[in-house]
Structure 1
Amino acid sequence: MQERSSVADLAAVLRRELDRYSPGGKLPSSRALVDRFRVSPVTVSRALAQLAAEGLVVTRPGAGAFRARPRPTAAPAGDTSWQEVALSADGAADLVPRSVDAS
C-alpha cells in the first residue's frame, strides 16, 4: 500500500470485505490487519475509525471491531400540513393586535 493514502486504501478494502461478516460479527484484530496489510497500527486505527464514522463498523475498546447492524429505516414523516396552515402568515390579518392601551 502507498504511504500517502494507506488509510483510505485500507478503509476501501475493509469496506469491500464487510459482506463476509454478519451484522455484529467480529472483524480481524488490529494486529492481524497490521500483519496482513503491512501497515502501521495507527493506519489500521484510522481506517477503522473512518468506517465507524460511516456507521459501518462499531469499535469497542478491548473487545475489537464489529460489523455494525443495519440501521432501521426511518418511518415516513406524518402529516404536518395542519402545522403549515396554523403557522402561515395568511391568517395573521384576522388576529387581534397584542398592544396594551395604558390609558
Structure 2
Amino acid sequence: GKLGIGVDSNQNGLQPGKVLTSMLKRVDVAVYNSFMDVKNDKFAADIQNLGLKEDGVGVALDDNNKALVTPEMTAAVDKAKADIVAGTVTVHDYMSDEKCPY
C-alpha cells in the first residue's frame, strides 16, 4: 500500500496506519528558547538555526504509526540522529549553495 509522510507537525493521527511518520519542526522549542532568553536578558533579534542537536527538528513516532515502524527502522533512525549530532555524518546545507549533492 501507499503511505504518507507528514511535515512540519505530527500528522500521524490524520490517517492512523497510513502515515509512516511525520518530520517535525519543533517551533515549541524555538518559542520556549526565545522566552527563556527574554527572561534571562539574553534575547537577540537574530536568526537561530535549531537542528537535531538543539531538538529543533524531529520524527514523530506514536500509537498511530507504531505498527508501521519496525525496531530495526527505529534503531537506524536513532543511529543516524546520533551520528548527525556527533558530527560523524554531515548534512549538506542546501541554503549555502542551492545544490543537492545527492
Q: What's the TM-score once normalised by structure 1's chain length?
A: 0.22
Q: TM-score, normalised by structure 2?
A: 0.22
Q: Which has the higher helix share?
A: 1
Structure label with greater radius of gyration: 1
Higher strand share: 2
